Amino acid sequence: MRKRVLITGGCGFIGHHVVEHFLLNTDYEISIIDKLNYASFGLDRLRSIPCDRDPRVKVFTADLSYPLSQGLKQELGDVNTIIHMAAESHVDNSIKEPRVFFQNNINGTVEMLEYARELDSLENFFYFSTDEVYGYAPDGVDYKEWDRHKPTNPYSAAKSAAENICIAYENTYKIPIMSVNVMNAFGQRQHVEKFIPMTIKNVLQGNKVLIHSYPNKERAGSRFYIHARNIAQAVLFLMNEGEIGEKYNIVGEKEVDNLELAQFISEVVGKPLNYEMVDFHSKRPGHDLRYSLCGEKMNSIGWEIPVGFEEALTKTIEWTLENQRWLEEK
């Protein structure tokens, strides 16, 4: 019998890459629950991947901050794996409307855990968290999975709370949970509000690119970027190799500061970079200049990044140049 996988947030950016990767590399039956808000682009992402009409995929619309209906539970059937990715994820929006983030990201996780408690068929439950739960990482610091959280904005606070609730459910109710902390994702069909597609658009149009920097405006902030398909492969790997009750950091190949990233994009696009270094914290309160996670645990169980950063980024830029409708505001 085919494994049944439920992916919440499967119409979102990382979510639809996970759906595509699973369909291309497994025989799983996949159910998607998505709120279809602005970040999901409706069904546009699913319609744009090669397997959008695959009969193994079912899509349901629901607000996960409320209990699943009995009718939806019957449609889902005997689920073997839950990959809980649905979340409000824009930090700036969390600063403007923190209650929305707490309601969706915390309540939504609790409702999925309550649903999981009813499933005798459940083999694993993946909770998708973020590098931001650990807060700012000083130079030389790479946080390990069980290091203490220190969230600095409502988004990361909500994700931290939900992550700890998952730990409590695993301990109390023996839900087969694994948590993954993911670093900055990029790839095809990403929302233009994110740095990489935003920079592609601004370079194309000759607009100024704002590079968030340290107060002296001489050093840019940095991130470990990772392509969403690499994240999808890591989840599939953990379904076979991961240990219930553990956390795993899914880490980018190397650290890149945002000025270097913008310069790389400019070279691939073939247009000059017009940029300005801006004091990060005065422009974006609640954000941190550097996040960093240690990827040793994943490496120790045999995972390797399938596609390197520069290759993945080049392909993403070239694809975006050929599909510029994804640079439009939705």
CA distance linking residue 148 with residue 157, whole number of Å: 13
295-305: per-residue pLDDT in tens?
999 999 999 99
State how far Cα 53 lies from the chain centre. Answer: 24
Which residue out of 29, 88, 111, 131 is catalytically annotated? 131
Scanning 32-176, the segments in alpha helix (DSSP H) are 44-48, 70-76, 91-96, 98-102, 108-117, 154-173
pLDDT band at 142 (very low <50, low <70, confident <90, very high): very high
Q: Is 80 exceeded by the pLDDT of residue 98?
A: yes
| Residue 131 annotated among the catalytic residues of the structure | yes
DSSP readout, 221-248? Answer: -EEE-EEHHHHHHHHHHHHHH--TT-EE
Scanning 270-328, the segments in alpha helix (DSSP H) are 280-283, 296-300, 309-322
Angle subtended by helix axes 13-25 and 228-241, to nearest 10: 60
268-310: per-residue pLDDT in tens?
999 999 999 998 666 666 778 899 999 999 999 999 999 999 9
Nearest to 109 by CA among 157, 155, 67: 67
Percent of the chain with pLDDT over 70: 96
Q: Is 80 exceeded by the pLDDT of residue 50?
A: no
Q: What is the pTM of this model?
A: 0.95
Which residue out of 127, 134, 155, 275 is catalytically annotated? 155
Q: What's the confidence (pLDDT) of residue 245?
A: 97
Q: Which domains does the chain have, with CATH numbers?
A: 4-185+224-250 (3.40.50.720), 191-223+254-291+308-327 (3.90.25.10)
How high does pLDDT run on average in the chain? 94
**SS3 state at 217:** coil
Contact call for residues 59 and 34 (beta carbons, < 8 A): yes
Q: What's the confidence (pLDDT) of residue 176?
A: 98
Which residue out of 34, 88, 111, 132 is catalytically annotated? 132
Percent of the chain with pLDDT over 90: 82
Report the C-alpha dihedral over residues 194, 196, 200, 201, rounded to 10 degrees. 0
Position of tokens 């640079």?
327
166-218: per-residue pLDDT in tens?
999 999 999 999 999 999 999 999 999 899 999 999 999 999 999 988 888 88
Q: What's the confidence (pLDDT) of residue 42?
A: 78
**SS3 state at 51:** coil
Secondary structure letter of residue 132 according to DSSP: G
Region 12-35: what's the mean pLDDT? 96
Nearest to 186 by CA among 137, 226, 214, 243: 226
Position of tokens 């409708």?
325
Q: What's the confidence (pLDDT) of residue 282?
A: 67
Burial of 324 (0-12, 13-18, 19+ CB in 10 A): exposed
Q: Classify 302 in phi/psi space as left (phi over 0), alpha (psi -120 to 50) or beta.
A: left
CA distance linking residue 111 with residue 43, whole number of Å: 24
| Residue 115 annotated among the catalytic residues of the structure | no
CA distance linking residue 257 with residue 220, whole number of Å: 6
pLDDT band at 330 (very low <50, low <70, confident <90, very high): low
Region 128-151: what's the mean pLDDT? 96
Contact call for residues 8 and 83 (beta carbons, < 8 A): yes
Nearest to 15 by CA among 3, 5, 26, 2: 5
